[in-house]
């Protein structure tokens, strides 16, 4: 199974209470597949294409996908109530690359946080800002654990060697 098809199935499960696409009714599965599968796979492919840009500080494309799956289920059309946009849920005012595509801005930001803070605190800070961490019982800690769980699922599904530390 392709990486992006796997990511789409994980995204469905992550945004449907942990229920697999294969555990829903045939009619619901058919409707979701017709309405969302191709868009979700295409968004995954777009994100992976951006991560291949040698000018970006991306060290782990699966990390980027894990953030995007957690944020939006790989839906580039979502806009948060606070105004975050793109599948990476990035704010234009915090973009590290000016007027660039907000996916690209989110990828830069997520990759930088991973490199500077590691997985748990990097994800927590992506979600909750510079003061967020994996200490205590915060929403950002719960978010980080969800990202890491999705990352582990992607690694397992792809039989990839991933650094979960």
**What is the average per-residue pLDDT within 123-139?**
95
pLDDT of residue 30: 97
43: pLDDT strictly greater than 70: yes
Residue-wise pLDDT tens digits, 82-96: 999 999 999 999 899
Q: Please give the share of the chain, as a percent, with pLDDT higher than 90.
A: 87
| pLDDT at 1 exceeding the cut of 80 | no
Average pLDDT on 2-16 reads: 96
Quick one: pLDDT band at residue 159, thresholds 50, 70, 90? Answer: confident
Report pTM: 0.95
Residue 106: closest CA among 11, 114, 153, 138: 114
Could you give the CA distance from residue 12 to residue 148 in angstroms, rounded to a whole number?
16
Domains and CATH numbers, the chain: 3-158 (1.10.530.10)
Q: Return mean pLDDT, the chain.
A: 94
Residue 165 has a CB neighbour count (10 Å cut-off) of 6
Of 36-45, 127-136, 152-161, minimum mean pLDDT range: 152-161
Residue 80 to residue 2: CA distance in whole angstroms: 29
| pLDDT for residue 25 | 96
pLDDT single digits (tens) 48-69: 999 999 999 888 999 999 999 9
Q: What is the mean pLDDT of residues 135-145?
A: 94
If one counts every other C-beta atom within 10 angstroms of the C-beta of residue 95, the result is 17
Would you give the end-to-end CA distance of the chain in angstroms? 26
**138 and 128 in contact (C-beta within 8 Å)?**
yes
Residue 164: predicted pLDDT: 65
């Amino acid at each position: 199974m392709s990486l992006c098809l796997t990511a789409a199935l994980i995204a469905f499960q992550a945004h449907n209470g942990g229920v697999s696409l294969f555990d829903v009714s045939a009619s619901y599965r058919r409707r979701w597949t017709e309405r969302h599968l191709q868009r979700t796979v295409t968004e995954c492919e777009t994100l992976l294409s951006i991560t291949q840009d040698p000018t970006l500080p991306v060290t782990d494309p699966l990390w980027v996908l894990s953030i995007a799956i957690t944020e939006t289920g790989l839906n580039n059309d979502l806009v948060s109530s606070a105004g975050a946009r793109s599948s990476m849920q990035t704010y234009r005012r915090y973009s590290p690359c000016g007027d660039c595509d907000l996916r690209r801005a989110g990828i830069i930001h997520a990759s930088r946080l991973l490199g500077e803070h590691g997985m748990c605190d990097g994800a927590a800070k992506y979600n909750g800002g510079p003061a967020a961490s994996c200490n205590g019982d915060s929403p950002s800690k719960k978010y980080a654990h969800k990202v890491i769980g999705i990352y582990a699922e992607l690694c397992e599904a792809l039989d990839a060697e991933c650094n979960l530390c």
